[in-house]
Amino acid sequence: MSEDALIHRLGAGDALLLRALMACFADAFQDPQHYVEALPSDAYLADLLARDGFVALVALAAEQVVGGLTAYYLPKPERAQSELYLYDLAVVENHRRRGIATALIAALHRIAAARQAGVVYVQADPEDEAAVALYTKLGTGRDVLHFDLMPPADPLASGGAAG
């Protein structure tokens, strides 16, 4: 990994760094609408960062966020362990090919091991050749289909009952 990058796990006081990570994602994924245009309040972000089930890691170089990831713990009902879902991972363009993504995943593996998570898993779009190459180097792939099942705008209108 680049000698000038440091991996840091975000905590409740790191809303500003989480905002910088969202800007990194917006740039890398070319999706500012999703990642930066409607960010919630610092209080919401602090609450999210304090949650046991959420992990955010950043790579810092010269005190600037140059990459990072977000992940979620998923407790399993069939055995006393969890899985860790790596949701987003990006490195800014001028810091790529320096081992930062691999170092972020290694840090996530250490967190998973400490929590006795059985696996870290991630999805990648087949068109994203860099992501597919990285994940192929680090793990085992499967062909799967991904479906977005959107809840109705009004759950009661579709015959659901209020909980």
Tens digits of pLDDT across the chain (163 residues): 545 679 999 999 999 999 999 999 999 999 999 999 999 999 999 999 999 999 999 999 999 999 999 999 999 898 888 899 999 999 999 999 899 999 999 999 999 999 888 888 766 566 656 555 555 555 666 666 555 566 787 766 655 555 5
Q: Which of 61, 62, 84, 87 is nearest to 73 (CA)?
A: 84
Both structure tokens of 93: 């363009």
Q: What pTM, to 2 d.p., does this model score?
A: 0.80
What is the C-alpha separation between 56 and 86, in angstroms, rounded?
10
